[in-house]
Amino acid sequence: MNVTSQLQQLFASGKPSHAYVIECQKSVAKSLLLDCAKVAMCQNYGCNNCVTCKKISQGNHADCISLPTDTQKNKLTVADVQLLVEESIKRPVDSGNVRVFTIDATDSVTGVGSAIWQNKLLKTLEEPLPNVYIFVAVQNAHSLFNTVLSRCQVLTEGRTSPKEVCNQLVAEGFLPQYAQVAAALATDVAHAKKLVADNSYFDAFNLAMDMLRGMTSTKTALPYVSAICQNAGVQDKILGMLSVILHQSVTYRLQPDLCLLVDYEQQLLDVCANYSIQAALVIVEKLNQTNKRLQNGGNFTVEIDKLAIEMSEVKYRCRI
């Protein structure tokens, strides 16, 4: 079912959430967000014919505020989120009795700025206001901080959810442990099937898991770092795997139902014991930065050494 139909059901049931993460392709984000606003604001949940719907389509409904304000760069700024914070506490001024904020975050989930706007938005999400609805469009819900994600309902446009991807692989006879790892990494079923047939992903998964469980300080880093450096086949996958496992460890703590790695619970508990939620999220950002430096020609061994030190520092700094 597409996002608009799901939303219509939720709003018609009278129990909509105050915030939604809309997972969709970047190319459809803007129009889909306007459709979401129509469902929230129109008396008929998005008829496309009434004054409210027409104003939203034309982008001139005073109670439907679309961010980022700079549509050319399409990058969210702190000023954008500040505008949301200020506008969300004002009364509706146009036709209708709700205010809607649509956020196209498809270009704003990476980089330093991403942490700043997400942390600022988090405050608003933590204290929802009556008659205010927030829709955040991203290509992948897990590119958002789990702290943000856990306060929103996720709706996916035209894509099978990771749980469904996992179930489908298991139904086709793949081992659950493999299906879970593939589903955690994949964007859809076809992608997951490619991953599940490639052993190097599981080598990378095992090395990443070992490192997250066993590396308690820089003193114990060496065996993990050398195992990764000696296995050329996993080097382009290890950072992604570390990130997936850390994300899953956060999901396990905040939204256990959504955690995919159900057959790895013991291992995840070790990871949780090593890294607080805050530490896991900071390290994911460090992994993104390491990845960027590698893409710009950084030396793999040097970067992994540096990463191991950073991970130990963050683990200590953000201990529970």
Q: What is the DSSP letter of 158?
A: S
Q: Among the candidate windows 7-15, 36-44, 75-83, 303-311, which touches Zn ion by CB under 5 A? A: 36-44
Considering beta carbons, is residue 96 or 162 the nearer one to Zn ion? 96
d(CA 109, CA 245): 19
Q: Minimum CB separation from Zn ion for residue 155, in Å? A: 20
Give the three-class secondary structure for 69: coil
Considering beta carbons, is residue 5 or 71 the nearer one to Zn ion? 5
Q: Among the candidate windows 34-42, 59-67, 112-120, 212-220, which touches Zn ion by CB under 5 A? A: 34-42
Q: Which residues pair with 275 in a beta bridge?
A: none
Q: Which residues pair with 121 in a beta bridge?
A: none
Answer yes or no whether residue 41 interacts with Zn ion by CB under 5 A: no
Considering beta carbons, is residue 35 or 104 the nearer one to Zn ion? 35
Q: Among the candidate windows 47-55, 99-107, 239-247, 277-285, which touches Zn ion by CB under 5 A? A: 47-55
Q: Minimum CB separation from Zn ion for residue 9, in Å? A: 17
Considering beta carbons, is residue 53 or 137 the nearer one to Zn ion? 53
Q: Minimum CB separation from Zn ion for residue 53, in Å? A: 3
Cα maximum dimension of the chain: 66
Answer yes or no whether residue 47 interacts with Zn ion by CB under 5 A: yes
* 97 exposure class (CB count in 10 Å sphere: 0-12, 13-18, 19+): exposed
Residue 69: phi, psi to the nearest 5?
-70, -30
Answer yes or no whether residue 42 interacts with Zn ion by CB under 5 A: yes
Q: How many residues does the chain have?
A: 320
- In the chain, the amino acid numbered 152 is C
Q: Minimum CB separation from Zn ion for residue 52, in Å? A: 5
Q: Minimum CB separation from Zn ion for residue 236, in Å? A: 49
Q: Among the candidate windows 2-10, 39-47, 298-306, 307-315, which touches Zn ion by CB under 5 A? A: 39-47
Q: Minimum CB separation from Zn ion for residue 207, in Å? A: 54
Residue 268: partners with Cβ closer than 8 Å, 6 or more residues away = 245, 248, 249, 252, 259, 261
Considering beta carbons, is residue 53 or 208 the nearer one to Zn ion? 53
- In the chain, the amino acid numbered 136 is V
Q: What are the CA-CA distances from residue 28 to residues 22, 94, 168, 236, 277 (Å)? A: 11, 26, 26, 30, 32
Answer yes or no whether residue 50 interacts with Zn ion by CB under 5 A: yes
Q: Minimum CB separation from Zn ion for residue 103, in Å? A: 22
Answer yes or no whether residue 64 interacts with Zn ion by CB under 5 A: no
Q: Phi/psi zone of residue 297: left (φ > 0), alpha (ψ -120 to 50 degrees), beta? A: left
Binding region for Zn ion (CB under 5 A): 42, 47, 50, 53
